[in-house]
Amino acid sequence: MALDASLPSEDEVRQELASLSESEAHGRPRFLFRGQTKIYPSVTAFIGRLSDQEEIGKAYSVLRWLVGRLRGQIARIPQLVAPDADETIALMQHYGWPTPFLDLTDSLDVAFFFATYHPGIVGSHEAPESAVIYVVDTLQLPPECRHVQHDDVIDPRLNLRWTLQRGHALAAAGWPNMEHVRILDLLCLPDLKVHRFLPNSYASKEDEARYLPPLDQIADQLAVLVASLAESMELNPLPQILKNFPF
């Protein structure tokens, strides 16, 4: 397919969006971004893209079990409030499990990385034919939409995908009911802005390593997460309890 010369360049779109990335509302980033390699007819959560209700039901069963186990273990720590289901699922989202959450970021660099990331072609000096950045204004989110921010979930100093990608998540407010999982479609949000552009090149290997670190240390990272929660409540780390986590 020939390149569409009518599209703006990546540099032009970056410049146009730069001021938005610095905007805040109520002390939080106002605008969220999602980068994709192409435009699809709908943009829904991973779990909503499963092929049938039986698959969705199985994914929900595992989600509920994992959330329950994690919260149950943390609840054993005196005076420590267990993370809610949003927090736990937002973390799982970044390690490949189908969830009702839809990923966005407040970082333009992360959004442009995913807009130009083709796993089979990383680090090429050629350029894809086009890419797209979606922009969501959080002040325009409807009440049936739930928003979770990465800083609400874990210590931002931790080396987790959720924080490295400056992750945010949107979900249908009624997501615990799996009948609602397909309700939220990013393309139906009010005031959604779509920026299709000509990329400079494919995502680099350096950015792949930065934003998608290997998954071989998931258990250790989750244990560190729980230690971080304990420390945030001014409690001493409890390595023996962490050692018994069912990861």
Q: Within a 10 A sphere around the Cβ of 120, how many other Cβ atoms? A: 6
Residues 6+ apart with CB under 8 A from 21: 29, 31, 33, 106, 107, 108
The confidence score (pLDDT) of residue 88 equals 67
pLDDT tens column, 208-243 = 999 987 765 555 555 555 555 445 444 444 444 434
pLDDT tens column, 85-142 = 676 676 667 666 678 889 999 999 999 999 999 988 988 888 899 999 999 999 999 9
pLDDT, mean over the chain: 77
Strands 145-149 and 102-105: unpaired
Q: Cβ-count burial of 128 within 10 angstroms (0-12 exposed, 13-18 middle, 19+ buried)?
A: buried
Give 21's strand partners: none
Taking 50 as the threshold, does the pLDDT of residue 247 lie above it? no
One-letter amino acid identity for 187? L
The confidence score (pLDDT) of residue 243 equals 45
Q: Which residues of 46-80 are buried (b: 16+ CB within 10 A; e: fewer)?
A: bbbebeeeeebeebbeebeebbeebbebbeebeeb
pTM of the model: 0.79
What's the length of the chain?
A: 247
Q: What Å distances lie between residue 151 and 19, 46, 148, 222, CA to CA?
A: 21, 22, 9, 16
Q: Cα–Cα distance between 51 and 37 in angstroms, integer?
A: 22
Helix axis angle for 85-93 and 53-75, nearest 10°, is 120
